């Protein structure tokens, strides 16, 4: 393929992202779409498609300016990141001498705090399938009632695992039965996360509640007709999708009377925040969450102000010294 043409460069960029960077199909699709949008913008502005070799920082700034107002800071930053990645690829392949996106400043993003549930709401959510029973009002046949019971057992295990391990929803859906290891760590159950973000793998301990829920679920999984390797399956025995998990978390949030808006990602945030509140160090939480950089984990220090205040109160030598009135 000729990397000096737009079509050839985009095809080469796609292969680079898929093979060398091991990115997911969805991420690759977003990168290619963002670069294609830049190509379309430049073509429309100049009246004809310019040679790839003439791609410049001016073109990148022009596109960002055109998008400003209709797109938020996060979207603009993502598009700029895609273009920068494309520029780095072209420089590595000798098509360009400099990355046209490297010197372009992106918009400042307002960094929102993760939405974590408080401990009571987290407990209400993970216990909702067992505590509330079925959530349909219509009368069920015995076979349907039995199937609903199996799905409730599944949902207990799924929610316990989300809250007990801090998995991303995509990681949860990618789990296989063989990813549960109870043999190598002196009786402590370990979850092997093989399909982490960026293709990275990690090991996460499974807490007692989640482990017991999984042990109860595995026979139910077989009764649901699961024939493949997937750990969590739907009523037809097929692997659950992230969208299905999002729907069932919402359903049990309502059924359990949870006061906050809960999502699978909120349970991940809750896992990290509650560990930090209990004194677990950031490096450990970073490893458990699978963050590539500690800076991604440090946001939880903002969430856990109560934890930081307690640490100061317990540790600082002047925290409990009475201040005397000035005798003057």
Domains annotated on the chain, with CATH: 6-92 (1.10.150), 119-312 (1.10.443.10)
Which of 124, 152, 168, 269 is labelled catalytic? 168
Contact yes or no for 255/132 (Cβ under 8 A)? yes
Question: Quick check: 208 and 215 in contact, CB under 8 A?
Answer: no
Catalytic member of 41, 78, 202, 265 = 265
pLDDT score at 12: 94
Per annotation, catalytic residue among 154, 195, 300, 307? 300
Q: What is the pLDDT of residue 38?
A: 93
Count of positions (residues) in the chain? 328
HSE, side-chain direction, 13 A CA sphere, residue 304: 25
Contact 72, 115 (CB under 8 A): no
At what angle are helices 57-67 and 25-46 packed, to 10 degrees?
A: 100
Handedness of CA 41, 46, 51, 54 (dihedral sign): negative
Q: List the catalytic residue out of 39, 268, 269, 307.
A: 268
Is the pTM higher than 0.95? The answer reads no
- CA 66/CA 146 separation, integer angstroms: 57
Q: Is 61 a catalytic residue?
A: no
Tokens 């296989």 belong to which residue? Answer: 176
pLDDT at res. 328: 47
167 CB burial (10 A radius; 0-12, 13-18, 19+): buried
Task: Clarify whether 265 is annotated catalytic.
Answer: yes
| Residue of 124, 152, 274, 291 with catalytic role | 291
| CA gap 117, 123 in Å, rounded | 9
For residue 115, indicate whether it is catalytic: no
Q: Considering 4, 88, 197, 239, which one is annotated as catalytic? A: 197
- H or E stretch including 13? helix 6-15
Q: What is the pLDDT along the chain (328 residues), one digit of tens a residue?
A: 788 899 999 999 999 999 998 888 999 999 999 999 999 999 998 888 888 988 999 999 998 888 887 778 888 888 999 999 999 999 999 999 999 998 888 777 665 656 789 899 999 999 999 887 555 556 778 888 888 899 999 999 999 999 999 999 999 999 999 999 988 777 789 999 987 877 788 999 998 899 999 999 999 999 998 989 999 999 999 999 999 999 999 999 999 988 777 899 999 999 999 998 888 988 999 999 998 888 878 777 766 655 456 556 766 776 565 555 444 4
What's the pLDDT at 312? 63
User: Known catalytic residue: 300?
Assistant: yes
As a whole number of angstroms, the distance between CA 128 and CA 136 comes to: 14
Instruction: Give the per-residue pLDDT at 155.
Output: 97
């Amino acid at each position: 393929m000729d990397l000096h043409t737009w079509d050839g460069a985009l095809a080469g960029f796609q292969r680079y992202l898929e093979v060398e960077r091991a990115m997911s199909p969805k991420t690759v699709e977003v990168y290619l779409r963002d670069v294609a949008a830049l190509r379309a913008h430049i073509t429309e502005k100049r009246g004809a498609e310019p040679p790839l070799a003439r791609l410049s920082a001016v073109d990148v700034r022009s596109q960002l300016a055109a998008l400003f107002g209709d797109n938020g800071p996060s979207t603009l930053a993502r598009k700029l990141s895609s273009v920068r990645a494309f520029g780095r690829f072209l420089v590595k392949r000798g098509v360009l001498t400099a990355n046209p996106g490297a010197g372009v400043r992106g918009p400042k993003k307002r960094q929102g705090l993760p939405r974590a549930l408080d401990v009571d709401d987290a407990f209400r959510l993970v216990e909702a399938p067992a505590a509330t029973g079925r959530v349909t009002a219509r009368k069920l046949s015995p076979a349907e009632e039995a199937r609903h019971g199996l799905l409730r057992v599944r949902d207990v295990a799924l929610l316990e695992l989300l809250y007990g391990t801090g998995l991303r929803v995509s990681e949860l859906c990618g789990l296989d039965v063989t990813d549960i290891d109870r043999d190598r760590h002196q009786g402590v159950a370990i979850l092997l996360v093989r399909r982490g973000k960026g293709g990275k793998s990690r090991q996460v301990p499974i807490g007692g509640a989640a482990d017991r829920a999984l042990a109860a679920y595995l026979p139910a999984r077989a009764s649901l007709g699961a024939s493949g390797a997937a750990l969590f399956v739907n009523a037809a025995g097929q692997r659950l999708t992230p969208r299905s998990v999002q729907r069932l978390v919402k359903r049990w949030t309502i059924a359990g009377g949870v006061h906050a808006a809960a999502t699978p990602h909120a349970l991940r945030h809750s896992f990290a925040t509650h560990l930090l509140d209990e004194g677990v160090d950031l490096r450990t939480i970073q490893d458990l969450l699978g963050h590539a950089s500690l800076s991604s984990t440090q946001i939880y220090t903002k969430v856990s102000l109560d934890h930081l205040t307690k640490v100061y109160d317990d540790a600082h030598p002047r925290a409990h010294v009475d201040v005397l009135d000035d005798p003057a």
